Amino acid sequence: MIIVMKGTATETDLQRVIQTVEELGYQPHVIRGTQRSVIGAIGDERGKARLQSLEAMPGVESVVPILQPFKLASREFKPTRTVVKVRDVEIGGDRVVVMAGPCSVENEDQILETARAVKEAGATILRGGAFKPRTSPYAFQGLGEEGLRLLAAAREETGLAIVTEVLKSEDVDMVAEIADMIQIGARNVQNFALLKRVGEVGKPVLLKRGMATTIQEFLMAAEYVLSEGTYDVVLCERGIRTFETATRFTLDLNAVPVLKKHSHLPVIVDPSHGTGHWEYVTPMAKAAIACGADGLMVEVHIRPEMAMSDGVQSLKPATFRRLMQEIAPFVEAAGRKL
Given Mn ion, ligand PEP, none, residue 262, with its beta carbon under 5 to 8 Å by kind, binds: none
Q: How far is the CB of 95 from ligand PEP (least distance, A)?
A: 22
Q: Shortest approach of ligand PEP to residue 167 CB, angstroms? A: 10
- The partner in contact with residue 238, picked from Mn ion, ligand PEP, none with C-beta cut-offs of 5 to 8 angstroms by kind, is ligand PEP
Position among 208, 248, 260, 301 found at the interface with ligand PEP (CB under 6 A): 208
**What interhelical angle do 255-262 and 215-227 show, nearest 10?**
40
Helices (H), the chain: 11-23, 48-52, 108-121, 145-158, 172-178, 192-201, 215-227, 255-262, 271-275, 278-290, 317-333
* CA 22/CA 291 separation, integer angstroms: 41
With contacts defined by CB under 6 A, name the span among 13-21, 77-85, 112-120, 181-189 that binds ligand PEP: 181-189
Tell me the sheet residues that pair with 297: 99
Q: Between 53 and 242, whose beta carbon lies closer to ligand PEP? A: 242
Backbone angles phi, psi at 330, to 5 degrees: -70, -35
Sign of CA dihedral 268, 213, 182, 18: positive
Which string of x and - marks every residue 116-155 that binds ligand PEP (by CB under 6 A)? -------------x---x----------------------
**Min CB(55)–Mn ion separation in Å:** 50
Q: Residues binding ligand PEP: what is the number (CB under 6 A)?
A: 9
Helix (H) or strand (E) holding 31: strand 27-32
* Residue (of 37, 66, 6, 42) closest to 199 by Cα position: 42
In the region spanning residues 93 to 112, those forming contacts with ligand PEP, defined by CB under 6 A, are: 103
Does residue 286 belong to the site contacting ligand PEP (CB under 6 A)? no
Of residues 266 and 276, the one with the C-beta less far from Mn ion:
276
**In the complex, what is the shortest distance from the CB of residue 142 to ligand PEP, in angstroms, rounded to a whole number?**
10
Write the interaction track for ligand PEP spanning residues 226-245; mark x where CB under 6 A is met and - where it is not: ------------x-------
Give the relative orientation of helices 215-227 and 192-201 as an angle to the nearest 10 degrees. 40
Residues between 258 and 277 that touch ligand PEP (CB under 6 A): 273
Instruction: Determine contact, residues 140/308, Cβ cutoff 8 Å.
Output: yes
Cβ neighbour number for residue 139 with a 10 Å cutoff: 12
> Using the rule CB under 5 A, which residue among 180, 270, 294, 310 binds Mn ion?
310
Q: Which stretch binds Mn ion (CB under 5 A): 43-51, 182-190, 276-284, 307-315?
A: 307-315
What is the maximal distance between C-alpha atoms in the chain? 67
The residues pairing with 236 across neighbouring beta strands, listed in sequence order, are: 208, 268
What span, in angstroms and rounded, lies between the C-alpha atoms of 76 and 69? 11
85 to 114: interface string for Mn ion, x by CB under 5 A:
------------------x-----------
Task: Describe the crossing of helices 108-121 and 145-158 by its angle, rounded to 10 degrees.
Answer: 40
Q: Report which residue's Cβ sits closest to ligand PEP.
A: 185
Q: Which is nearer to Mn ion, 76 or 310 (CB)?
A: 310
Question: Site residues (CB under 6 A) for ligand PEP?
Answer: 103, 129, 133, 185-187, 208, 238, 273
Residues lying near Mn ion in the complex (CB under 5 A): 103, 310
